[in-house]
Amino acid sequence: MRRKVTVVGAGMTGGTIAQRLAETGYIDVVMIDIIEGLPQGKALDLAQSAPVIGFDARIIGTNDWKETAGSDVVVVTSGVPRKPGMTREELLNTNAAIVRDVCQRAIEHSPDAIFVMFANPMDAMCHVAKEVTGLPRWRIVGQGGMLDSARYRTFIAWEVGCSVEDVHAYVLGGHTEATMVPIVSTAMVAGIPLAHLLPKERIEAVVQRTRQGGAEIVSLLKTGSAFYAPAAATQAMVEAILLDKKRILPCCAYLEGEYGITGAFTGVPVRLGAGGVEAIYEAPLTLDELEGLRRAADAVKELVALVR
């Protein structure tokens, strides 16, 4: 039996997420957007690729929330995208109003869904979703750590000159340039500590490029932001939930004492499965890395306090 996923927002990110999910063959996808014709056109185009690619998923584009009823997972990408020079924080209240509305509508039609948040600023939008839906913390998870970790692993592989498949490294903390924490102490290449392969200054260059990863793409594109890597990261999270994979992934979760943090969505290693965030793992971090996580949590709390 195919599962059902609603993707809120049919822009470049939402459309690419819908494509990756539909091409699995076991997920029916609903794309919903306020712009009339946009989700319908993309859904029709995507459906017509099925005979070539070879998948049988049903793809619906709609402006009507009734079409989303009974979704197993709701992926929220809607919001105003960043422009060059704009920080995620500047998007705060515009996107908070959008996320508040879509989450309220989504939960009305899919009361059992798990929410995967991608709207920016992602950490704060997780709080908005939790407040609006009233869901337990296990059923709301933010995507940022997956994307930032993918960028970190890519840059490490390029610097070392190895396959990305052999790089194991996490970015924890926040999903902003100032609050993300690329973890160096446990970063490995085929089981070899990164510090044994690269000098300190090259590691710091990789860390800095990771922090600027999203802004670098925004600057190059001039209009819009990244969508290929975000879509791949989201697909991995959704599949971990729908297939009950129990994957340990860097995601934004609501902490209640873990890492000495309470009451804030923060990027940490979590076990994703059918229940959503089924466990939160406390990794062995250096004091500087732990402090980075706590600063990220404090920054999210300050941001949430500004939400109107």
CA 206 to chain centre: 21
Terminal-residue alpha carbon distance, the chain: 42
- 156: number of Cβ within 10 Å: 28
Give 84-89 contacts, CB < 8 A, sequence gap 24+.
Answer: 84/218, 84/219, 84/222, 87/176, 87/177, 88/120, 88/121, 88/122, 88/175, 88/176, 89/121, 89/176, 89/303
Report whether 100 contacts 51 (CB < 8 A).
no
Burial of 78 per CB tally in 10 Å (0-12, 13-18, 19+): buried
Taking alpha carbons only, the member of 144, 102, 116 closest to residue 27 is 116
Residue 184, amino acid? V
| Sequence-ordered list of residues with C-beta below 8 angstroms from that of 163, at least 6 positions apart, any chain | 157
- Strands annotated E in 135-204: 140-142, 167-168, 171-173, 180-182, 188-189, 192-193
* Token pair in block for residue 71: 């979704």
- Which is the catalytic residue, given 109, 168, 175, 196? 175
Query: Is residue 175 among the annotated active site residues?
Result: yes
* Token pair in block for residue 74: 């709701």
Strands 59-62, 73-76: parallel, antiparallel or unpaired by DSSP? Answer: unpaired
Active site residues: 175
